[in-house]
Structure 1
Amino acid sequence: MDQTSETVISLKEISAAAFDMDGVVTDTASVHAAAWKRTFDDFLLSHTRATGEPFVPFDLRDDYLAFVDGRSRLDGVRTFLSSRGIVLPEEEHPSADPAALTVAALGDRKERYFLDYLRTYGATAYPSTLVLLRTLRKEGIHTAIVSASRNCAAVVKAAGAAELFDVRVDGRDAARLRLPGKPHPALFAEATRRMGATPARTAVFEDSLAGVESGARGGFGLVVGVDRSGQRTELFAHGAGLVVSDLAELTVARRHG
């Protein structure tokens, strides 16, 4: 389904739709970015003091989009640290220095910061996404929320959007089922399976490069990139068939009429 020059979703061609959470359904990408910056800047300052290397802070846009957006928490830690040539142990070892940092410890720190921000500021859903979800459900299209976050249920509930999804596949499912994270298509494939649909008849809505790549790799019928960060060209390059700056730009061609 080639939609590169159209902003129309034909419901004759899809029976299900899977939505990424952060940046597509909820306006929480900035909250994640702030939690990542606090986590990495604290670590990088300590690393600078220990090694004498220059301190280069985490960039809220470029580093976030390139290395952590759309990825699982631990994959985000690994990918960003790798970009700086830093390798940490994966887990705490009983005989290790209690003050030693690991990939898991940094991931836990980011989680705490994110939850602190969420409790303070809450979560907001994009109105245009809610309108699209209601339209799709009214037309009998099954809907799923898909996220690498273990806090998906809490965030979607806080945003008042939980009742708009038939299926939720999140970081807790990924850990339990040992599903690889994006850009692997496993999370979207699991959501599609639970909706009783096939990838070829499922639309994927994503704002991250890793996310649209997962949709393309999984053979999904339509991959919609939501460009909220000025990366339209990159979204197309990673596999989006259609890119919009907001889902309000989409027109739904109903099954009847």
Structure 2
Amino acid sequence: MAVTDEAIEKIKAMIVAGDLRPGDRLPREADLAERLGLSRNSLREAVKALSLIRVLDVRQGDGTYVTSLAPQLLLDALNFIVDFHRDDTVLEFFEVRRILEPAATALAAQRMSDDDVQALRKVLADLSDDASIDELVANDLDFHHRIAAGAGNALLCSLIDSLSGPTTRARIWRGLTQAGAVEKTREQHAAILEAIAGRQPELARSWATVHVAGVEDWLRVALQGPVG
């Protein structure tokens, strides 16, 4: 194991063991290096690496702190990686969405507040019949985000949000090229909403699966032929 990796693992172990908690300030560099049996240089490199993935927060003139370790914060690194996806990997993002979103939708049917259900209903109502493709996609992203948030699991919501970006181009492409895509999206959104409002988690799960899988299946076929 590289020296820096060893240093990272030792700091991680302190956090996992509870020796360092969210918001705690790390001991002085010299003291921590001695405690962990590390060189100050390897400790310094480990701190840099952990600050990049938002585990540590280096405050100039103040010290180094453990962050809140909130899922949304830690997933910033995943969002950065996701931004480098290639078009030929977009199907993999849809496959993961097909696994996660139906589960989130089922949870939303159980946990979403009545006020949030009404807000979700308003999202659909606000989409005009002559909406542009850009407006449709923005509405679609908002709809899916609200359901993910309504699942009541911050980590699950962050994961789903991070997967939305790479699939946006495919949604636009489908809206522009597939006949009836806009109408089908609206119908499926309405069915998902009614299942959530009716507190029917398995029906909500089923409609979410149909919805995401439909786009995935269309894209799989589209990628096999010429792109127009």
TM-score (norm 1): 0.25
**Whose strand fraction is larger, Structure 1's or Structure 2's?**
1
Please tell me whether Structure 1 or Structure 2 has the larger radius of gyration of its CA atoms. Answer: 2
Structure number with the higher helix fraction is 2
